[in-house]
Amino acid sequence: MKQSMYRALSALAMLALLGSSLPLQAQGVTYRIDPVHSTVLFRVKHMNTAFVYGRFNSFMGTIVVNERNPAQSSVVLEIDLNSVDTGNSQRDDHLRGPDFFNTRQFPKATFRSTRVRKLNDTTIEVQGNLTLRGVTKPLTLRVTFTGKGRNPRGQEIIGFETTFTLKRSEFGVNYGLNGGLSDEVRLTVSVEAIRQ
Amino acid sequence: MNFVLTSLLSAGLPALFAGVLWFLGGRFHRAHLWLSAVAVGGGMMLAYYLALGKPAFPTTDAQEWVFWYALGLIPLGWLMGIAAPYRWIAGWGLVLALPWLFVWLFVPLMRSEHWSLTVGMTWILVFGVGLAAMALGVASAEARLTGWQMAFLLALVGGVSAGMMFYGAKSSSFAQLAGALGLVVGIAVPVGWGMRSFRVGQGAVAMLVVLYGILWAIGFAYGQLQAPYLAVFALCMLAIALGARGASGWRFVVPLLLILLIGGGAVGMSYQTYMSASTGYE
């Protein structure tokens, strides 16, 4: 009698556990972007001659992956524009200032997805809004799934990468457009995210 | 088009535009107050458009207010020119209106938490009331100097402002705007030289002081201009306002020397600091 009661309770507990995990699967799995193993790079053409590269050293964000229903997946990426790094401190100061990012008024750039669509096993189309210098514009990214695994701490990790081009003038960053610096800026975002 | 050439054009065209209006204002005295206000405000708007493109309205970026303020100051400058004989009206008008300009300019910095509410409100009052006093003081000195002398002194302030925006605030676009504004009034020097009766006009002088002040305020609040350097602008304005009250032979020379000494010295110091930290970036 005691044994059968124990079995029944165990079965109930298993059911409860299973039940609680089902909505989690339906909502998707949340990953937090690991800035140490992620990169946000940009390049711009100088004097119509050569490309100059820079990066942002500080950013954060989350990725929600829903494998059953990819449309329910989402991405949020927030970049600290003060962390711009082009390898030249005077240029970085200039980029932070009123001519470019105006970081005192707009310290962050944010991308928020609005729609996610799986194109094939390794490619996802992410539509969303990029807000830079107070201007929000829609953006469509083709994102490549770069891998999944475990980090040395045993945490589940996942990787994505995307490269896209935007026109800085559309975000009100107009300084130096007359031949000094290109309007087109190419960005590469490569992220590794840790399951929460 | 060549980068240097386009930069020169973006400063030269506003000066050309203003030059025509200064000339017409010198010829047609009835329209002088209106034309001189349009020369300053329109010249600044053109300079902004050529340097930074069309600004949005309503603005998202606080700096875009420079363009809209230049537009809004045109009727105010004209009215101030008319109200010049009734100084108390112009004075109270400026004291009451100017802090509001800085509310729009500085509120975004409080929203982004760069400044606390107390700090922001303090700077709004300091800039608003301080600039009103400077605009009144310099405008009242206008009658004591000849037209070309006032234009020359204000153009010199434009040169100092451009230097400070570039080396102090580290903003090329605002250096360009300050330089263009200097040229807008500087072009009135040959016009005034050729026409004895030419005057810049008290309204236009007040507009120039306010527009310069706004550029310095942006250089400080949004750029890297250090607070002590704001005193340089105040001292240049004080030099014109007080210098012009001296003996007739010294009314032009004293402010000229003081601006060269104070403004030139400050630009020189900023240049030294900039170059000593130079990393080869251009």
CA distance B174 to B184: 15
Q: Is B276 on the interface with A (CB under 8 A)?
A: no
Cβ distance B218 to A98 less than 8 Å, yes or no, reads yes
Q: pLDDT band for position A151 (50/70/90)? A: very high
Q: pLDDT band for position A2 (50/70/90)? A: low
Cβ distance A97 to B171 less than 8 Å, yes or no, reads yes
Collect all residues with Cβ–Cβ distance below 8 Å to A115 and sequence separation of at least 6: A71, A126, A127, A128
Mean pLDDT of A106-127: 95
Kindly report the pTM of this predicted structure: 0.87
Question: How far does A95 lie from chain B, in Å, by closest CA?
Answer: 10
Contact list, B109 vs chain A (CB under 8 Å) = 104-105
- The DSSP 8-state label assigned to residue A56 in this structure reads E
Written as one string, the DSSP assignment of chain B is --HHHHHHHHHHHHHHHHHHHHHHHHH-GGGHHHHHHHHHHHHHHHHHHHHH-PPPSS-SSGGGHHHHHHHHHHHHHHHHHHHTTSHHHHHHHHHHHHHHHHHHHHHHHHHTTSS-HHHHHHHHHHHHHHHHHHHHHHHHHGGGS-HHHHHHHHHHHHHHHHHIIIIIS--HHHHHHHHHHHHHHHTHHHHHHH-TT----HHHHHHHHHHHHHHHHHHHHTS---GGGHHHHHHHHHHHHHHTTS-TTTTTHHHHHHHHHHHHHHHHHHHHHHHHT--S--
What is the tens place of the pLDDT at every residue in B67-86? Answer: 999 999 999 989 888 877 77
Is A17's pLDDT higher than 60?
no
Tokens of B201: 């006009």
Find the closest chain A residue to B10 by CA distance: A178
Contact list, B281 vs chain A (CB under 8 Å) = 88, 90-91, 94
Q: Which of B2, B34, B3 is nearest to B21 (CA)?
A: B34
Mean pLDDT of A142-150: 95
Cβ distance B279 to A89 less than 8 Å, yes or no, reads yes
The complex scores an ipTM of 0.84
Rounded to a whole number of angstroms, the CA Rg of chain A reads: 22
Contact list, A175 vs chain B (CB under 8 Å) = 51-52, 172-173
Q: Mutate which of A104, A106, A167 to test chain B, going by most B C-beta atoms within 10 A? A: A104
More confident residue, A90 or B4: A90
Residue A78: in which H helix or E strand, if any?
strand A74-80
What is the tens place of the pLDDT at every residue in B195-230? Answer: 888 899 999 999 999 999 999 999 999 999 999 999
Q: Which of A89, A105, A179 sits opposite B62 (nearest CB)?
A: A105
Contact list, B49 vs chain A (CB under 8 Å) = none
User: What pLDDT score was predicted for residue A15?
Assistant: 44
Query: What are A194's strand-pairing partners?
Result: A32, A157
Q: Is B116 on the interface with A (CB under 8 A)?
A: no
User: What pLDDT score was predicted for residue A19?
Assistant: 44
Cβ distance B63 to A102 less than 8 Å, yes or no, reads yes
User: What pLDDT score was predicted for residue A178?
Assistant: 75
Q: Is B218 on the interface with A (CB under 8 A)?
A: yes
Q: Which of A91, A94, A107 sits opposite B112 (nearest CB)?
A: A107
CA distance A65 to B109: 36
Q: How far separated are the first and last CA of chain A, in Å rounded?
A: 42
